[in-house]
Amino acid sequence: MSTTAATPAFANEPLLELRRADVRASALEALAALDARLPLEVPMLIGTELVRGEAFASVDPGAPERIVAHAHAAGAAHVDAAVARAVDGQQVWGARPAAERAAVLRRAAELLRGRRLELAALAVRECGKPWPEADGDVCEAIDFLMYYAAGAEALDRGRPLIQMPGERNTMKYVPRGVTGVIAPWNFPLAIAAGMASAALATGNAVVLKPAEQAPACAKAVVDALHAAGVPHDALSLLPGGDEPGRALVADHRVHTIVFTGSCAAGLSILESAAKVQHNQFHIKKVVAEMGGKNVVIVDADADLDDVVPALLSSAFGFAGQKCSAASRVLVHAQVHDALVERLAGAVRTLQVGPAEDFATDVPAVIDAAAQMRVRRYTAQAAPAATRVAAASEALPAGDGFYVAPTLLVGLPDEHPVIQEEIFGPVLAVQSVPSIAAACDAVDASRFALTGGLFSRSPKTIEEVVARTPVGNLYVNREITGAMVGRQPFGGGRLSGTGPKAGGPDYLLPFVEARAVTENTVRHGLVV
C-alpha cells in the first residue's frame, strides 16, 4: 500500500448549500461587504517586506470599470530578491518536522474556512466565477491544504524496504529545494493553494507568481498561509505578468517549477527549465498541467435527458474556462440529430450575465484578449459549420467581456475549432459512425486531459476505458468538477506532466528520495 495515500480522516470540504435562500442571501451580503472595500491592494510580499512597483489593475471581467485590486508587478530584480530569501527560508522551513508543517497547513485551511463567503465573493469579482464555482474554488483550496498536509505526513514515514540480517535499510523523502509556483486565474484560490501547499507540505520554500488576472485571490491564500505560521522567507508573492514568471523559471536556485496554464507557456517553461546553468548543480523538475481539448463521446444508447444537461454544464459552466471543460462532442450517428436538436434548444436557454447574479449560466470570459480569441474562433467556424446555435438572449450591456455560448455542428476534423483549445464557451458536435471511430478521433488528439462517455452498455464502457488516453474519464456524468482525493486530476500527452493534483502521487515530484543502508554487523555479530 502506498504510504502517500491520504489518511482516512480526509473528507472534502462541504460546498455551500446555495439552493437555500438564506445561504444565497449571506453570500450576497459578503459580496456587498467586499465591494465596499474595493479596490484592494496587492503589493509584492518578499520576505517580511511589502514591496511596491509598477501598479496594474485587476478588474471584474463582467464590469471592467470595477477595479478589484491594484497590484504591483514584479520585475527580474524582485524575483532575484524573493529567491534569495527563499534560499534562506528553505533551510528553516525544510528543517521543521513534517507534522509541524502539516499543522501549519491545517491552520491555514481553518483560516480559509472562516472566510468562506468572503473568499468566494472575491473569486466572483476578480475572475467572474459564478457562485457555485467560486465556492467550489474555496472548498478545493481547503481540500488541497488538508489533503497534502496528510499526504506529507504519510510520506515522511518513508517506504518499507526489504530488510536482511546485518543491515538496516530505510528510504526517506527530503525536500528538493526552492519551488517556483506559477498559478492560473481559472481556479484562482484552489490551484494557487494546491500548488503552493504541495511544495510547502513537503518542506520547500515557495515563490508564488499568480496569474496577472488574479493577484487578489492569490494574496488571500498567501495571507492565510503566513497567518497560519509559514515563515515569510519560505513564501513570497510576486504579482505580475510574464516577466517575473520567466525570471523565476530561469533562476538557477530554483529546483522545482509548478505550473498550470496554457500548453504554449508550459512547453516554453519545460524548455527553459531543462537548461542547466554553469552554477547550477541540480536538474530542475517541472510539474505542469497544461491545455486540453476535451471530448465527450455519446453512444447510441445514451440517455439524452442526462446528456444534454451534462454537456451544458461541462461546456458552458464558468464560460468553458476550466481545463476540464468539454469542447467537442462525438455522437453516434443514430442519435446525432436528436441530440443536436435538443442541445441547440438548450443552448438558447442559457443566460449570459454577471457572475454575481445567481441566475447567470454563463459569465464573462476573463479578459478582452480572451473575448477576442473566442469571437475569432466562432466567426471563423460559422461558415464551415452545418449548424450554429448560440444563446439567443442579448448579451448584457456594458463593457463586460461577454461572448455568446455557441454550439457548432458538422465541422471537419481538421478545423482549428476541432483541434485547438479555445478556453471559452464553444462546443463543437460531430457525428461518428461508431464508438470505435470516436475513440480513434480522441486518440488522434495532441491533448489527453479529460474525456467523457455516455453509454449504457457495460462492454462499451469497458472498451472506451481501455482505449482512452485521457487522464480523467467521466462516464455518464458531466466532465468537470474533479474532487480532491476522489478524482486525482491531470492528463498526459501535451496536457501535462501528469502527477495528478489531489491524488496520492502528487507530492512525489516535490521530494528527493534518499535510501540509507547501515551495516549493523560488528565483528561478525549483528548489533
Partner 1 sequence: MLMDAEATRDLDIESSVTTIGRALVAAMPTARKTPRAAVERRVMAAMVDDPELRAAVFRFVDVRPACTDPSDLARHLGELLAEADDSPLAQRGAALAGGALTKRPVAAAAALGVKQMAQRFIIGADAQAALPAVEKLWRAGVATTIDLLGEATVTEEEADSYAERCEVTLRVLHDAARRWPERPLLERDAAGAIPRVNLSVKVSALTPLLRPTAPERGIAGAEARLRRLLRVARDTGAHLHVDMESFDTREAVTELTLRLLSEPEFVDGPSAGIVLQAYLTESPQHLDRLLAWARQTPRAQPFTIRLVKGAYWDHETVEAVQHGWTPPVFQDRRACDRNFEALSRRLIDAQDADTPTRIRAAIASHNLRSIAHAAAYADARGADVELQVLRGLGDETQAALLQEGRRVRAYCPIGDLVAGMAYLVRRLLENTSNDSFLRAQAEGVDLTTLLEKP
Binding site for partner 1 (CB under 8 A): 11-15, 17-19, 21, 24, 131-132, 300-305, 308-309, 312, 334, 342, 344-346, 348-349, 351, 357-359, 361, 456-459
Q: How many helices (H) and strands (E) does the chain have?
A: 15, 23
Query: Among the options 13, 153, 212, 289, which is catalytic?
Result: 289
Residue 158 to residue 155: CA distance in whole angstroms: 6
Residue placing its CB nearer to partner 1 in the complex, 115 or 342: 342
The grid cell for 288 is: 505542469
The CB-of-116 to partner 1 minimum distance in angstroms stands at 13
Nearest to 174 by CA among 253, 68, 95, 257: 95
The CB-of-454 to partner 1 minimum distance in angstroms stands at 11
The CB-of-347 to partner 1 minimum distance in angstroms stands at 9
Beginning with the edge strand found earlier in the chain, give each strand of the sheet holding 285-289 in spatial order. Answer: 49-51, 44-46, 235-237, 206-209, 179-182, 256-260, 285-289
Residue 496's CB is within 10 A of a number of other CB atoms, namely: 28
315-330: buried (b, 16+ CB within 10 Å) or exposed (e) per residue? bbbbbbbbbbbbbbbb
The CB-of-129 to partner 1 minimum distance in angstroms stands at 13
266 close to 98: Cβ distance less than 8 angstroms: no
Residue placing its CB nearer to partner 1 in the complex, 12 or 169: 12
Catalytic annotation on 263?
A: no
441 close to 432: Cβ distance less than 8 angstroms: yes
Catalytic annotation on 323?
A: yes
The CB-of-233 to partner 1 minimum distance in angstroms stands at 36
Query: Among the options 127, 139, 323, 439, which is catalytic?
Result: 323
71 close to 244: Cβ distance less than 8 angstroms: no
Residue 115 to residue 264: CA distance in whole angstroms: 35
331 close to 298: Cβ distance less than 8 angstroms: yes
The CB-of-306 to partner 1 minimum distance in angstroms stands at 8
The CB-of-461 to partner 1 minimum distance in angstroms stands at 9
Residue 298 to residue 256: CA distance in whole angstroms: 40
The CB-of-137 to partner 1 minimum distance in angstroms stands at 15
Give the chain's end-to-end CA distance (angstroms, integer).
30
| CA–CA–CA angle 38, 42, 45 (5° rounding) | 155
Cα dist from 368 to 69, 380, 399, 448, 499, whole Å: 17, 18, 9, 28, 33
Residue placing its CB nearer to partner 1 in the complex, 28 or 51: 28
CB neighbours of 45 closer than 8 A, spacing ≥ 6? 51, 219, 222, 226, 232, 235, 236, 237
Residue 75 to residue 516: CA distance in whole angstroms: 42
3-state secondary structure of 392: coil
Q: Kindly list the catalytic residues.
A: 289, 323
